[in-house]
Amino acid sequence: MTATVHIDGASRGNPGPAAYAFSMVLADGEIIEQAEPMGKTTNNVAEYTALVEALHRAAAAGVTHLDVYSDSELLVKQMRGEYKVKNADLKVLVDEAKQLMISFGDVRFEHVRREQNKRADELCNLALDGKPIKKSVESDLASPSAELTNAAMKVLIRHVDLDIAEAIWRDLWKTIRPKS
């Protein structure tokens, strides 16, 4: 199974209050998002924590090919082997990430501009503001009787903002859900 994931880490101050986040899209359209505060640490530690957490979740979902997008040029170049890892705190996280990557057939890293990493950045800021997120859009909303509407949700997710798609889904589900 293939997936793409956008990761981000942030700190307010460096070091300062920090958070990590990722937004992953699996091949079947399922979206998995996670964002959590980390206490006081550096931006780079937060970025690598996002990677490690995303790798854990991707492995649990059975992903074998993963494309990782990050606005951290340092992380991308270090994970590609273009830069050496000198910081001891980062070395521990890099080693953990590399160990996790063994279970995948292929993991590719791509540096993107911040504008192309918008959702992960938004999630990170929510976590920093005390609103952590840990959800899988379809698994939170799915039910056996909603197979057709789940397909509709996948189309919505691909074409509109996630918050709008989720609101539409919830309104639709209120209307069509089986009465118990």
Give CB contacts under 8 A, 24+ apart, made by 150-155. 154/28, 154/29
pTM score above 0.85 = no
The Cα–Cα gap between 36 and 129 comes to 10
Instruction: Return the pLDDT at 162.
Output: 56
Instruction: Return the pLDDT at 12.
Output: 95
Q: Where are the domains of the chain?
A: 2-137, 142-180
The per-residue DSSP string of the chain comes to: -EEEEEEEEEESSSSEEEEEEEEEEETTS-EEEEEEEEEEE-HHHHHHHHHHHHHHHHHHTT-SEEEEEES-HHHHHHHTTSS----HHHHHHHHHHHHHHTTSSEEEEEE--GGGGHHHHHHHHHHHTT--EEEEHHHHH--GGGHHHHHHHHHHHHHS-HHHHHHHHHHHHHHHSPP-
Residues of the chain with pLDDT under 50: 139-149, 151-152, 155-159, 180
CATH homologous superfamily for the domain 2-137: Ribonuclease H-like superfamily/Ribonuclease H (3.30.420.10)
